[in-house]
Amino acid sequence: MNVLLIGGSGSLINSLIIKFKKEGHRVYLLTGSRQDKAPYQKVFERYNFPYDCACLNEIFESINMDLTIFMGAYDTNYKWTNEEADAVQYSSGLMNILMSYAMKNRGRFIYLSSDEVYSLNSEEDIVENDPPTPIGVKSMLLAQAEEMCESYRISRERDIMTLRLDHVYVVPKRRSECRDKVSKLCLEAFDNKKITANENSKYSLLYETDAVEFIYRASVADTHEESIYNISSCREKTEPEVAEIIKKYCGDDTRVMSLPGEKKRIILSNKRFSDEFGKQYYCDDEGIIKNIVRTMMLNKSAFRDDEVKKKSFIDRVFKKGGWLVKALIPFVENLIAFIPFFLLNNRATGSKYFANLDFYLIYVLIFAIVYGQQQAVFSAVLATIGYCFRQMYTKSGFELMLDTNTYLWIAQIFILGLVVGYMRDQITKLKREGQEEKEFLSGQLGDMRDINSSNVRVKDALETQLVNQNDSIGKIYSITSALDQRSPEEVLFYAADMLSNLVKSKDVAIYNVVNDDYARLFSATSKKARVLGNSVKYRELASMYDVLADHKVFINRKMEENLPMMANMIFDDDDRPQTILMIWTLPWENMTLGQANMLVVISALIKGAVVRSTRYLQALQEKRYIEGTKILEPDAFGPLLSAFQNAERDGLAECVLFRIKLKPGDNIYSIGEKAALLLRQTDIMGMAEDGLQILLANTTRADSEFVEKRFANNGIETEIVEDGVVCLRPDRVS
C-alpha cells in the first residue's frame, strides 16, 4: 500500500513512518517546507514542497497513494506563535491538500485533530456528536478544519476520516518539542524545581505509541461506519496526580503547588472507535513519565532555557522604524541634489552661454527617470520653489503671481516630470511582473524537475525491487513452481524446505490435518519446529486456531512460547482444513503485514502442488493397495519409501522401517490385517522384495521401540531395517 504522510518533522510522524514501514507499506512524505534538513525517519520518497505549491496535483499523481494522512493539529510546520498568520497558512494549505486529494480521488484521507476543539468543562466523556466549543484562534481553526473535511467528504463523496486524539504526549528530545501537558509540567520542574498544578483540571493521557497503533487500525480497515472518531485512553487523571508522578522521579527538592483554578474536565469518549476497531493499550503512563524525566536529566543542554538578551533602545527603534528610514532616503537624496542644481541655475541666469539652459528641468528629469512619478512630483515642487525664489530677486511677489510665464513654466515642469515618471513606473512594473513570472515559471520548472527526478528514482527503485528482491512475486513463483517437478510423494517434504528459504527461517513445520481435531506432523526443517510433537490437537490452540479458521495469517505478537511466530492454514476446494504451515523463528521486524501477505501468496502456490499430489494419490488408491487389505503394492510402496528416505537424508523428516518376520506357512494377508490395527493413520505398510515392511512416519529409533513391543505383545515379530541394507530404490521397482 502506498502511504503519503503530510507534516513537519516530529516524534509522532516519525513513529507513523516506522509503523507503516514495519508493516510492509511503502511510505512517501510531503514535508510542507522546502528545507531538506529536518530530522525525519527514512522513507521511500520525500517531497520538500510547501502545501500551497502549484504542483501539488503532480505530486499526488506521481505517488498514486492508497492512503493519505495529514498531521493537522500535530503538524510542526506551524509554531502558532503568530496565530493569525499561521491560521491563514493552515487554512490555505489544508484547502489545497483536500482539493488535490479530491481531484486524484484515490484511497482514504485521514485528518488528525485534537482535544483542543473542546475548551469547556464537561462532567461526561465527550462523544463525537457533541459540537466543538473552541476558545482561541487555534482551537477555532481546528474545528473549522474538521468541518472542511466533512464538507469535502459529503459534497465530493470521498473517503475522508477525522481522528481526534485526546491529550497525546511524547518523550521530547529537545526543549522545542515540549508542547503537550506532560512535557510542559516536566519542563517546569526541570527549570524551577516547582510544579504548579490546577487541582480542578482533569484529562486522560494518550502516549504516542498507542496513538500510532490506533491510527494504523483505522488506516488499514477495509471499511468504516462513521467519519469522525475520538481516540482516547479514557483513563482519567488530575493534574496534581501527574505532578506527583513527575516529582517522584525528579527528586525530593521538587515541590508541587496545587492551586484551585478553573474547573476543567475534558475527556474524549472512545466507545465508537473501540466498538468498531477494538481497544488495547500497551503503555503505562507512569513508566513513560519516568522516561521523560530521565531524558531531560541526561540531556540538560537540550532542555536548558537560553534567554535572549534584551535589545537596546536604538536597536529596537531601528528594527521597528527601518521601513520609515528606507522610505525617507529618496527624499533626502532629492533635497541634497536640489542644492547644486539651485546654485547652477542662479549662476547660469546672467551667463551669456548658459542663460537658455534650464537646470531645473534636467533635475526633474533625472529624478523622474531614476525614482519615478513620486520623486518627480517632489523634485518639481522643489524646482518651483527655487524658480520663484530666483525670480523674486528682480520682481515682487505680486508681480510674480501675475506673470503668465511663471504658470507656463510650472505647468511645463510638472507635466514633463509626471509623464516621464509615469513611463518609468510602467516600465518598472512590466519588468517586475516579467521577473516575477520568470521566477514563478522557473520555480515551477524546478519543482517539475524535482518531481521528475523523484519519479525516476522511484521507477529505478521499483525496477530493482521487482528484479532483485528475494520476496518478489516472480522469484516466489519460480521457487514454488519447482514443486511441480517433484514426485507426488515428495511435494510436502520439499515444500517445508522451500518455505524455509523464502521466509528466511530455519525452523518450519508442515502439519497435515487428519480429522476435525488432530493434525499430524508431515515435515519439519529442525528440532525446534517439532516442538508441538508429531500429533497436535490444533483446535485447542485457541488463539491461533481462531485466526486460521477465519482464513487469516496468525502472527504471534504476544510472543507465546507454545505457538509459532507465524502460521497459515491451507483449505481444500470444499473449504475444509487441509494443511497447516508453521514458522517458529522469525525476527520481530519481519512479523509484519507484508510478510503475512507473502505467506498467503506462498501458501496459495503450495496449495496447487499439494492438491495435484493429493488427487494423484487418491486416483491411484484402488491400484496402490492389495485388494481387500491395507498393504501397498510393491510399485506403490517403493516410491513412498524412497521419498521418506530422501527427506530423512535432507533433514526434513524422521522415519523408521520395520520388516515383519514371516514364518513358513504364515498367511501374509491375515498378518497384514492384524498389523494394520496396531498402526497409526500416518504409518504405511507395503510389500517389498524381501517381504512385508512397515514405514513409521515421523518416528525416531527411540520412539519405535514402543511400536516394536506393541507388535511383539500381539504375536508379531519385527526387525528394524537399517539404512542402506534393504532399502528399496525406485530403479528396482518393477
Q: Is residue 504 assigned to a domain?
A: yes
Q: Is residue 465 assigned to a domain?
A: no
Predicted confidence band of residue 148 (pLDDT cuts 50, 70, 90): very high
Encode pLDDT of 522-554 as tens digits.
788 888 888 888 888 888 887 888 888 888 889
Of the segments 106-110, 370-374, 710-714, 715-719, which one has the largest average pLDDT value? Answer: 106-110
pLDDT at 6: 94
State the average pLDDT for the chain: 80
Mean pLDDT computed over 3-8: 92
Residues 381, 351 share a domain: yes
Cα–Cα distances in Å, from 127 out to 72, 97, 132, 151? 20, 28, 10, 20
Residues 37, 10 share a domain: yes
Tell me which of 396, 411, 437 is where a domain ends.
437
Least confident range of 68-82, 569-583, 628-642 = 628-642
pLDDT at 727: 38
CATH of the domain at 498: 3.30.450.40
Residues 214, 161 share a domain: yes
Residues 612, 504 share a domain: yes
All three cell numbers of 542, joined, read 485457541
Q: Is residue 294 assigned to a domain?
A: no
Q: Is the pLDDT of residue 732 over 60?
A: no
Tell me which of 580, 597, 619 is where a domain ends.
619
pLDDT at 164: 93
- Residues 6 or more apart in contact with residue 73 via CB below 8 angstroms: 112, 113, 114, 116, 142, 165
Answer for the pair 400, 388: CB distance below 8 angstroms, yes or no. yes
pLDDT at 457: 64
Predicted confidence band of residue 250 (pLDDT cuts 50, 70, 90): confident
- Write out the DSSP string of 295-336: HHHHTHHHH---PPPPPPHHHHHHHHHHHHHHHHHHHHHHHH
Count of domains observed in the chain? 4
Residues 640, 594 share a domain: no
Residues 73, 14 share a domain: yes
Could you list the residue range(s) of the whole structural domain that residue 503 is in? 486-619
Tell me which of 596, 619, 642 is where a domain ends.
619
pLDDT at 601: 79
All three cell numbers of 42, joined, read 527514512
Residues 549, 500 share a domain: yes
pLDDT at 492: 66
Cα–Cα distances in Å, from 345 out to 356, 386, 387, 409, 645? 10, 9, 9, 14, 121
All three cell numbers of 621, joined, read 488408491
pLDDT at 3: 93
pLDDT at 309: 42
Mean pLDDT computed over 587-601: 76
Could you count the other beta carbons within 10 Å of the beta carbon of residue 388? Answer: 16
CATH of the domain at 725: 3.30.70.270
